[in-house]
Amino acid sequence: MRLVRQFTRAPERRGRVGERFRPEIARAVLAWFRHARRPLPWRASRDPYRIWVAEVLLQQTRVEQAAPYFERFVRRFPDVASLARAPTQQVLKAWEGAGYYARARRLRQAAGILVREHGGALPRTVDALERLPGVGAYTARAIGALAFDLPVVPLDANVLRVAARWAREERDVGRRAVQEELRARLERSIPSGASGAFAEGLMELGELVCRPRRPRCDACPVAFGCRAYRELAAPGRLPRSTRRPARPHVRAAVVALRHGSRWLVQRRPAGGLLGGLWEFPGGKLERGERPVDAARRELREETGVAVGRLAPVGVVRHGYSHFTVELHVFEGRARAMSSPARGRRWATLAEISRLPLPRATGKILGALRARRPRTHGRPPGRTSPGSR
């Protein structure tokens, strides 16, 4: 009878303190997850270190993209001690391409703390995990549930969506109070001794079945207990979405300044966006400014070098999570190799490729390499159409 009342309760009474989802729902999630579970590389063991690295990676990288980055990183740094010992530049290089490089720096910083204060092991409480750099409430709960089977549920977008649909939550799930209510309700629904599998099953269900726009309710193992499915014509309209603002678009000009076989590169400041990574000099276009003029101005302002002719290489486009960039790339010849200031160096293309680079700089490097055979022995700029 209690279940019947739950399905007919007025929306404002839902989510009251102490409520939980039906035990059959949680059991159905576990049963489904046992056979639907994808063989992702971080699921190969319950090693807390690997789970930690994976969860940090997955904070801003999609599951299907994360696997090769994860494998490269844990191959290079197989445990806390090896990560704690590594120079920052090596850690950034191993993280290259995954984006949000502050995550890699904080991983290394946290590894140092683990070695100094926790005997090289991850702590086994959510509070202690949350005190580590780069570990927020979500990641601490994910490590707690997956590595140590603590009775907690990490509430990512997938899990939040699933819970909101089960509960037919009509309120804005962007509100912290609503999230806390749903999380507490899920945590009260954890089957005994199965926190990790329940958390992973919820994530997997949200990723594979209870998708944001078109949930696959016909294939859902918990449709029998889902209020959105049972009561709404279109369950996919929940949870109420708050529209994401469009990503800003940045137009910038970059100079690949060359002397012989060496190119001038510089390291970005440690604290900011893409901090500690290496790139060619350049910067944003000013309003109404031509890319070639911006390239010349930025080079002069950043390095003090005044360059003559700039040959267009092409336009490199890249989408980061929070913005997109359009880089107008030019090649210039330096008359001499000025002695570089701190954080700058002259390097061959092979040497540059071994430095930690933003994805867009990697693309520029590819464009420069592709040009080399065609431009060999000719004045630069004659062979490749560029953009201004």
Q: How far is the CB of 19 from ligand SF4 (least distance, A)?
A: 17
DSSP 172: B
217 interacts with ligand SF4 by CB under 6 A: yes
232 interacts with ligand SF4 by CB under 6 A: no
- What whole-number distance in Å separates Cα of residue 166 and Cα of residue 181? 13
Part in contact with ligand SF4 (CB under 6 A); list of ranges 98-106, 119-127, 185-193, 221-229? 221-229
By beta-carbon proximity to ligand SF4, the closer residue of 104 and 159 is 159
Q: Which residue has the tokens 């992702």?
A: 40
Q: How far is the CB of 294 from ligand SF4 (least distance, A)?
A: 49
Total residues interacting with ligand SF4, rule: CB under 6 A: 15
Part in contact with ligand SF4 (CB under 6 A); list of ranges 145-153, 161-169, 192-200, 371-379? 161-169
> 147: burial class by Cβ within 10 Å (0-12, 13-18, 19+)?
buried
By beta-carbon proximity to ligand SF4, the closer residue of 162 and 352 is 162
Query: Rule CB under 6 A: which of 110-149 touch ligand SF4?
Result: none
By beta-carbon proximity to ligand SF4, the closer residue of 238 and 277 is 238
- 40 Cβ neighbours under 8 A, 6+ residues apart: 54, 63, 67
Q: Three-state SS string across 254-274, please? A: EEEEEECCEEEEEECCCCCCC
159 interacts with ligand SF4 by CB under 6 A: no
* Both tokens assigned to 5: 């009342």
CA nearest to 205, candidates 54, 28, 57, 40: 28
Integer-rounded Cα Rg, in Å, for the chain is: 26
H-assigned helices in 305-358:
349-353
228 interacts with ligand SF4 by CB under 6 A: yes
Residues with catalytic roles = 55
Query: Rule CB under 6 A: which of 174-213 touch ligand SF4?
Result: 209-210
107 interacts with ligand SF4 by CB under 6 A: no
- Choosing from 15, 123, 201, 235, the residue that interacts with ligand SF4 (CB under 6 A) is 235
* Both tokens assigned to 251: 């137009």
- What whole-number distance in Å separates Cα of residue 213 and Cα of residue 197? 25
Q: Are strands 249-259 and 324-333 parallel, antiparallel or unpaired?
A: parallel
By beta-carbon proximity to ligand SF4, the closer residue of 190 and 368 is 190
Q: How far is the CB of 230 from ligand SF4 (least distance, A)?
A: 8
Q: How far is the CB of 40 from ligand SF4 (least distance, A)?
A: 21
Beta-bridge mates of residue 282: 254
Number of H-type helices and E-type strands within the chain: 16, 7
- Choosing from 94, 104, 190, 223, the residue that interacts with ligand SF4 (CB under 6 A) is 223
239 interacts with ligand SF4 by CB under 6 A: no
- Choosing from 144, 196, 215, 356, the residue that interacts with ligand SF4 (CB under 6 A) is 215
Beta carbons of 166 and 226 less than 8 angstroms apart = yes
325 interacts with ligand SF4 by CB under 6 A: no
Query: Rule CB under 6 A: which of 40-99 touch ligand SF4?
Result: none
Q: How far is the CB of 283 from ligand SF4 (least distance, A)?
A: 46
- What whole-number distance in Å separates Cα of residue 42 and Cα of residue 146? 11
Q: Which residue has the tokens 């430095």?
A: 355
By beta-carbon proximity to ligand SF4, the closer residue of 202 and 285 is 202
Q: How far is the CB of 208 from ligand SF4 (least distance, A)?
A: 10
- What whole-number distance in Å separates Cα of residue 94 and Cα of residue 277? 12
The residues binding ligand SF4 (CB under 6 A) are 162, 165-166, 209-210, 215-217, 220, 222-223, 226, 228-229, 235
